[in-house]
Amino acid sequence: MRLTRTARPSPFDTIRVRRATQRDFRALRGVASGMVGSPSLPGTPTVPTVPAVPLSVPFQVPVPLPPPRRPLASEDRGRRRVRRWYEDGLGWATAPGAPVRLVLGDRFDVLDMPLAAGLAALRHLGPASPAAAQGDRMRLPVAVGGAEELPGLLEWLEWGALDLGLVGLGAGTLMDAPLPPGTPLVGGRGPRGAAVWVRPPVPGREVESSLPALSALGGAGDAPDLVRLVTTAATECHRLRLRGTATRRPVRL
């Protein structure tokens, strides 16, 4: 059997075929991708170009911050009632703002001590001497100048070297105003941590004359003796300190 030899293409034919194939491939790629101005094969229908649609990005609407909470009308009325009770009934100055606070150093000072020590010191106070409590602290009003005399009294009584948690609050300090007697309470209780009167002052009476003072030494007048009050308070504070139940000292405002 005789085999027929196939003629091999010349190099020029191979180059022409390769170029034609590349040209047709570029034309087809341009039509498929919708490119404008790309070469196309003769007789090939024109494919319309579809405009690109941008991907939708979720738009986040900024959430406005809520406005500052304004006090309710009932809260405003309650604070005004408390201020009138102190300013009009007792003549005690209050500081602006909320909560209502009493200005110390004008009509009276305060001895601030652990609650247990304050309860023990009540026996040295007259029936008209007020006493307030807030949390685990007792606050006993004393005559103006008593807070300034406290460090010297503790030194004289040989208690000055110990941190008893007994603090005098006088001029330049504030005290949370205890709720006046008869204040309407929600659910039978006042605000959490609010100051309350253990022995409330009586409006219309001269409260200052019943406060413990140094001038009571020697039995002059009816005011309780500040030295005896400080002695009892310091002794009870020391007992609490030994038991490890003394509370932290208050923060000056």
Task: Copy the structure tokens of residue 31.
Answer: 């039509």
Cα 78 from Cα 75, distance rounded (Å): 5
Helix (H) / strand (E) element for 167: namely: strand 167-169
* Residue of 215, 236, 239 lying closest to 227 (CA atoms): 215
pLDDT for residue 237 is more than 80: yes
Query: For residue 218, what pLDDT is reported?
Result: 46
Q: What is the pLDDT of residues 56-93, one digit of tens each?
A: 545 555 656 655 555 555 567 888 889 999 999 999 99
Q: What is the pLDDT of residues 85-142, one digit of tens each?
A: 999 999 999 999 888 999 999 999 999 999 999 998 988 887 888 999 999 999 999 9
Query: For residue 140, what pLDDT is reported?
Result: 95
Band of pLDDT at residue 244, cut at 50, 70 and 90: confident
Q: What is the pLDDT of residues 204-227, one digit of tens each?
A: 777 888 899 986 544 445 678 899
Task: Copy the structure tokens of residue 26.
Answer: 């570029």
Which of 12-21, 155-164, 177-186, 187-196 is predicted most confidently? 155-164
Helices (H), the chain: 11-33, 73-84, 115-121, 146-156, 226-243
The mean pLDDT value for 147-172 works out to 93
Cα 31 from Cα 6, distance rounded (Å): 37
> DSSP 3-state assignment of 102?
strand
The mean pLDDT value for 160-168 works out to 91
Q: Do β-strands 174-176 and 94-95 pair in parallel, antiparallel, or remain unpaired?
A: unpaired
Q: What angle do CA 105, 110, 111 make, to 5 degrees?
A: 145
DSSP code at position 87 = I
Cα 242 from Cα 165, distance rounded (Å): 12
> DSSP 3-state assignment of 104?
coil
Question: 192 vs 101, which has greater pLDDT?
Answer: 101
Q: What is the pLDDT of residues 25-50, one digit of tens each?
A: 666 566 555 544 445 445 555 555 55
User: How many angstroms separate the Cα of 156 from the Cα of each of 16, 109, 118, 231?
Assistant: 120, 20, 21, 10
